Structure 1
Amino acid sequence: MDAAWTGRTKIWLVLTLLITAVMVFGHGLGGHTLQRLGQVVVAGTAVVFLFCCRTSYAVVLVDRPALLACGSVLLAGIVSSLYAHQPLWALTEIALLAASCCCAEAFAYTRRTSGVSADRLLLLFVVFICVFKSFDFLTLAFHSFVSGTGKLDTGGLLSGFSNKRFYGQFQTFTLPLLALPLLLSTTKRSAHVWTFLLLSLWWLIAVAGGTRGTWLGMGVAACGLFICGHSGRRWITWQVLAVLAGVALYWLLFSVLAGYLGMEVSNAASERLTTTLSDRGPLWQQAGEMIREHPWLGFGPMHFADIHNPIAAHPHQAILQWASEWGIPSTLLVMGLVGRGLWATFILIRERSTSDEPTDLLRLCLFASLIGALTQSMVDGVIVMPYSQLWLSLVVGWLMGIHVWKGEPTKPNAFIHWSWMGLSTAAVLFLVYVVIRDFPHLDERNKLYQQQYGGHFQPRFWTQGVIAIKPE
């Protein structure tokens, strides 16, 4: 690739990473609404970037069966939207899916064209943002210890997200990636020490946050990597050591030091060591009833939020959410696509389990990140929250960009490429329309929800994501 294309690729990637970082910087800055706006901006830049790279249709990212399955899912979603109670909101969800796929394609194309330089930049970004958030956590903890109030709320130490569970989703994506420098034989000893310290601090924050979905996701990822061979077991070893260090740091800070200073600690990790479903039971029951009532096409994308309940605007379970909103056939297609991609990656990792090549070790860490996130999506809204959707696009696109094909599949032709680009452009423009339509009136919309239903906000597209209209 010539220098001009490489320059455009780097400009887009750096701009995207800057936007992604800003979405969680500062206190009160990284809320759900800002993250949704940032996601739309990133999707818009991805479309422009892919339009500029007119030869991108020659880059093989998916094979023909995957293209057919994706097209079938899209068609089923459109038909479901046309029969939905609120078609515009259903189409908004489809547009969001198309925009996320476009972001994944842009990341994959960037990796294919820029090579290992893109890997280094993306890994540096992951390290940078985790260092920033770790410093932010420690700074807030220090202020709490010296404030003289005698009270310390561990939940207040997690900034940048409207809910600490969303912070946990972000950690599920990044914890596996932080172990990569520890696996590389080329990493200097001093870098090993600093990386392990960062990974331990990141686990400390995970302990303080108490997101059980993160622990579940990382546990399943560890089980998956255990059968991936030697490199997978090395990854597990470093993660276990970092977990022990993180737990020890938590005990020293919030038990020993807080006890010595006579401080009262609220939202302690021990208070969240439960096996309850945390109100997910009624949500899963509602999703099940929706599936039984409309098994083929579902109620329409985003339409779990069209049936108000006092708990949440999504069922906190990815399969139930998709089946209740898109229908069972679409769900089976999506599960088949995901399973096929995971299996292909697993086979590749197994074949190269003794390799010390940076790309092979990166694939292992990305695989763990994706397994962890998909597992957490079984109990949490990973496929709903804007920042998690963006990271899912990044991880999937990164994996696609470094995938090694057994046999080169049939390349999509120009018609398929430009049809997809037209659809992606329409999706982003529709999302821009939704933002222009709703953003100036979000406060009024929130107040109206409080008047009609009361209770807490339930995030979906916006912070208040319930789209149900209470009858007069």
Structure 2
Amino acid sequence: MDGREALGDGRADFWVVALLVGILASVGLLPLWPGSDLRAHDLQRLAQCVVLLLGAVVCGFACPSWSLRWTGLGFGAAALWSVAQSAHPVVAGQELVLWLGLCGLAVLASRCRAESLWVFVMRGLVLGAGAYALIVIALLAGALINAEPLHARSLCLGFDNPRFLNHCQTVLLPWLAWCTLRDPQRGWRVLAGMGAAVHVGLAILCLARATGVAWAVMLLVMLVAGQRQLAWRFVACVALGVACALLLFDLLPWLCGQRWATSFVSPTELGSDHSRGSLWQRAWQMFVNSPWHGVGPMHYAAEVKGKAAHPHNIYLQMLAELGGPAVLLGLAWVVRTLADGWRSLWASSLVAGQLVPAFAAVVAALVDGSFSGNFVMPLSQLLIAVSFGALLSGLAEASSPVARSTGRSAAWHFFAVALVASQGWLLIRAAEQVQRDPPRLRVESPQPLIDNTMRPRFWLNGWI
């Protein structure tokens, strides 16, 4: 089956694929943007809002009729109830609209069915990851040649916190490993392998614990599911990354007689929870105080307490902000999708098709989400949404490889109009908010003192 049979209308197909390629390339290339008056997180958030509006428009034209399950409708109703009960409904609505845009992006990604299309789409990811890796190597080489101080943070380009890069790497690596196997052109396979090695090396340099745990669980799941070809290629990429880290970050500095002036985190901090215990306890208390509708989307950031505007756990965050019913409905749909994916993985031991890397990437993201803010940051959100859409497309291809759309339902027209209108509103809101100094949700939003660290959520200054 070729791409035209998988997608249908050629002109619509072109825009779907082009947008997905651009989105994935931007994940690696946007942090390399040469200069901006905005901090990295705020620039990436604004770019994300533009991407989501473009995705909504393309989705409305290119996607087929589709039906939303009762769990999805129930989740939407519960989320709207939470918005209505929140202290700042407009801010809560802004968060909900952002998630709606990400869902639209996943629907758009699910439109691509043929593996050949996903190989092409993922070249955008390989291009971004490869360009990022080359710039990191060039910067390190320049510092070594000029005997400049070595700073770990300086190699995590375009991110206000190296952890935000690690969130992307969690989802990035399964796809790069797949590209080293499935891309028909050797040059792209080599670039994917190089990008994977450098990104693993950077994760090791930053002691990315949550990312490491996510990769380990993902590897175990893939082995148990019988997907050994991708699993062992993933192991090879990690091994190459370890060698890369030893060469670039240990051996070469030692040979040049240089030491790291600063590291991102000390190995002695590996056993620390970095205040996660108190963040999780606060989220749980919010849920206990308001178990049915929560405090409202984004409203974990409504009280300037603790060390973060989100609890570093997506499940506790949803419980606190949306309440129990919404979480149960949302998780029921996610678990069912993963169960369908697991059954499909068992049906074939081959790595062909996008279902295998998509399932691996989604599992890794869900594990990482137990310990980090990967579901909060703009670039990792885009990667997760596209990966989930790829999982849905793989499931659809496995169940009905020749199915084609026969028309659009009234429900689809309503969803498409609501999606475009909501993302347009979100971009207008973001364009207004980004003009504030610093960018923030409301004029009245608390601002950190000069010596205080920003606490990101929607913007880098994430407090409501």
TM over 0.5: same fold?
yes
Q: Distance in 2 between the 1:448 and 1:127 partners?
A: 39
Give structure 2 stretches of 5+ with no counterpart: 1-7
Partner of 2:132: 133
Report the CA distance between 1:143 and its aligned residue. Answer: 1.8
Residue 294 of structure 2 aligns with which residue? 298
Matched, 1:160 2:167: no
The structural deviation recorded for 1:2 is 4.1
Structure-1 separation of matches of 2:145 and 2:287: 53
Q: What secondary structure sits across from 1:284 in the alignment?
A: helix
- 1:327-352: per-residue Cα shift (whole Å, max 9, x none)? 01111111111111111111101111
Counterparts of 1:399 and 1:462, CA distance in 2: 29
Q: Cα RMSD between the aligned structures?
A: 2.8
Match of 1:287 in 2: 283
Q: 1:89 aligns with which of 91, 113, 121?
A: 91
| C-alpha distance in 1 between matches for 2:253 and 2:22 | 42
Q: Give the letter for the 2:158 counterpart.
A: G
- 1:200 maps to 2:197: yes
Unaligned runs of at least 5 residues, structure 1: 468-472
Of the three residues 249, 255, 263, the one matched with 1:254 is: 249
Residue 425 (structure 1) aligned to one of 413, 420, 429: 420
SS for the counterpart of 1:24 is: helix
Other-structure match for 1:48:
57
| C-alpha contact (below 8 Å) 1:181/1:187 kept by paired residues | no
- 1:421 offset after TM fit, Å? 1.5
Aligned partners of 1:155 and 1:208 also within 8 Å: no
**Following the alignment from structure 2 to structure 1, what is the Cα–Cα distance between the partners of residues 439 and 33?**
25
The one-letter code matched in structure 2 to 1:214 is: T
SS of residue matched to 2:291: coil
Q: Output the amino acid matched with 2:228.
A: R
**Distance in 1 of aligned mates of 2:448 and 2:170:** 36
Partner of 1:470: none
Aligned to 1:76: 78
**Superposed counterparts of 1:329-340, under 5 Å:** 329-340=325-336
> Which residue does 1:142 correspond to in 2?
141
Per the alignment, do residues 295 and 142 of structure 1 end up closer, same or farther by CA in structure 2, a change over 3 Å counting?
A: same
Q: Distance in 2 between matches of 1:285 and 1:453?
A: 28
- Any conservation in 1 of the 2:206–2:265 contact (CA below 8 Å)? yes
What are the superposed Cα offsets for residues 41-75 of structure 1, whole Å, 9 maximum, x if unpaired? 1111122213333xx343x5xx65xx211111111
Q: Do 2:177 and 2:237's aligned partners in 1 also have CA atoms closer than 8 Å? A: no
> 1:189 Cα deviation (Å)?
7.1
Q: Is 1:213 aligned with 2:210?
A: yes
- In structure 1, what is the Cα distance between the partners aligned to 2:159 and 2:106? 23
Question: Residues 272, 145 of structure 1: CA spacing in aligned structure 2 closer, same or farther, 3 A cutoff?
Answer: farther
Q: In 2, Cα distance between the equivalents of 1:263 and 1:410?
A: 61
In structure 2, the partner of 1:24 is 31
Tell me the distance in 1 between the aligned counterparts of 2:377 and 2:146. 33
In 2, the alpha carbon distance for the partners of 1:381 and 1:434 equals 23
Letter matched to residue 178 of structure 2: L
Cα distance change, pair 25–124 in 1 and its aligned pair in 2 (3 A): same
**For residues 301 and 415 of structure 1, what CA distance do their matches in structure 2 show?**
28
Cα 1:28–1:329 shift into 2, 3 Å:
farther
1:37 maps to a residue whose letter is L
Residue 364 (structure 1) aligns with: 356
1:412-456 Cα shifts (integer Å, max 9, x gaps)? 961211221232123213212311331211337599744669621
The answer to whether the 8 Å contact 2:169/2:211 transfers is yes
Shift of 1:133: 0.9
* Distance across 2 between alignment mates of 1:125 and 1:268: 29
What is the one-letter code of the residue matched to 2:177?
A
1:435 to 424, 430, 436: 430
SS of 1:313's partner is coil
1:398 aligns with 2:390: yes
Residues in 1 aligned to 2:372 and 2:448: alpha-carbon distance in whole angstroms = 28
The residue correspondences of 1:168-207 to structure 2 (distance < 5 A) are 168-184=166-182, 187=184, 195-207=192-204
| Partner Cα separation in structure 2 for residue 422 and residue 201 of structure 1 | 42
1:387 to 1:290, Cα distance in 2 relative to 1, 3 A: same
Listed one character per residue, the Cα deviations across residues 361-384 of structure 1 (whole Å, up to 9, x for unaligned) are: x32111111111111011111111
The answer to whether the 8 A contact 1:81-1:300 is kept is: yes
TM-score, with length taken from structure 1:
0.87
- Amino acid paired to 1:119: W
Structure 1 equivalent of residue 454 of structure 2: 457
Q: Aligned to 1:403, what secondary structure does the other structure show? A: helix
Distance (whole Å) between structure 2 residues aligned to residue 242 and residue 387 of structure 1: 22
Q: Residue type of the partner of 2:146?
A: S
Over the matched positions of the two proteins, sequence identity in percent amounts to 25
Does the CA contact (< 8 Å) of 1:19 and 1:38 recur in 2? no
Say if 1:294 and 1:236 are closer, same or farther in 2 by CA, change over 3 A: same
Note closer, same or farther for the CA distance 1:224–1:93 as it changes in structure 2 (3 Å cut).
Answer: same
Confirm or deny that 1:374 pairs with 2:374: no
Aligned residues: 449
What is the CA–CA distance in structure 1 between the aligned matches of 2:25 and 2:195, rounded to whole Å?
21
Which position in structure 2 is the counterpart of 1:118?
A: 117
Specify whether residues 226 and 46 from structure 1 end up closer, same or farther in structure 2 by C-alpha distance, changes over 3 A only: same
Question: Is 380-389 or 423-432 further displaced after alignment?
Answer: 423-432
Matched, 1:228 2:225: yes
